[in-house]
Amino acid sequence: MIKLLKSQVGYSEQGGGYTKFGAWYGQTVEFDSDYSAQPWCDMFLSWAAHKLGYESWFGQFAYTVDHAKWFISRDAWGTDPEPGAVVFFDWGGGHAVDGIDHVGMVVSVDGDDVHTIEGNVDGQYVREKVRDDSTIVGYGYPAEIQAAMAPEVEFTAPPGTNVLASSTHVAASSPLEPPAGLGAGTLLVPVLAAALLVVVSVKTRQASLRLAAAVTRRTAPASRPAAPATPGPAPGRRCA
């Protein structure tokens, strides 16, 4: 995401304050207003997150205060800068979330200096900046939300798989010696037949499990997680 944001460095507002980020937001996230000339620091970040499919753990916001509260509600908020964190500013130097009026993304940290990339700075540009903590209210951590959302996947081998593997291993590493007077070909046919029966049994079991899972999916009620609310910017608030 940092790489994508950096590719936009130098972008500036067009006539009347129009930005492609605001236009995208009004066409993609919220449809209640024309966002094309609205304060766009947070919409710039939301645009990049959407481009990469990160919306679920990044959020899609135009209003910086609500974006910060979204991170807080998900226990992904703190005061330690780290690359990829969303940094929230209050130009008045306060440390209250309700006073936040600007946002950017942390690129790197060098001692007390926080290197960021931000939209709608120096009047109308996307630029990289170096900040200290005098105006920083806090940080949102998308990576923590992503980690919390990732399901823990535990693989369980189908019944009989270990037995088959063990049998195959034994057969491969310890070939049977035919009894005296019998050729190797005499034993080969029953051994192959037994192995084939094991394989067919395992395949049948796996097919039954897949069929049962498919029936469960078809009969279970569909559900979708509710999308996070993303209210628009407060009247008169402008990131700078």
Q: Report which of 234, 232, 225, 223 is spatially closest to residue 60, judged by C-alpha positions.
A: 232
Residue 55 lies in a domain: yes
| Contacts (Cβ under 8 Å, ≥6 apart) of 206 | 158
**pLDDT on residue 206:** 54
pLDDT band for 91, please (50, 70, 90 cuts).
very high
User: Do 98 and 165 share a domain, yes or no?
Assistant: no
Tell me which amino acid residue 224 is: R
pLDDT band for 110, please (50, 70, 90 cuts).
very high
Select the more confidently predicted residue: 229 or 239: 239
pLDDT band for 151, please (50, 70, 90 cuts).
confident
Residue 226 lies in a domain: no
Select the more confidently predicted residue: 151 or 195: 151
Task: Give the containing element (helix H, strand E) for 185.
Answer: helix 184-219
Structure tokens at 159: 């019944």
Residue 190 domain boundaries: 161-219
Residue 233 lies in a domain: no
Residue 208 confidence (pLDDT) above 70:
no
Instruction: Provide φ and ψ at 131, rounded to 5°.
Output: -120, 155
Task: Give the containing element (helix H, strand E) for 127.
Answer: strand 125-131
The count of structural domains within the chain is 2
Tell me the average pLDDT across 124-135: 97
Q: Percentage of the chain surpassing pLDDT 70? A: 63
- Give this prediction's pTM: 0.65
Strand residues in 36-162 grouped as ranges (E): 77-78, 86-89, 102-110, 113-121, 125-131, 136-140
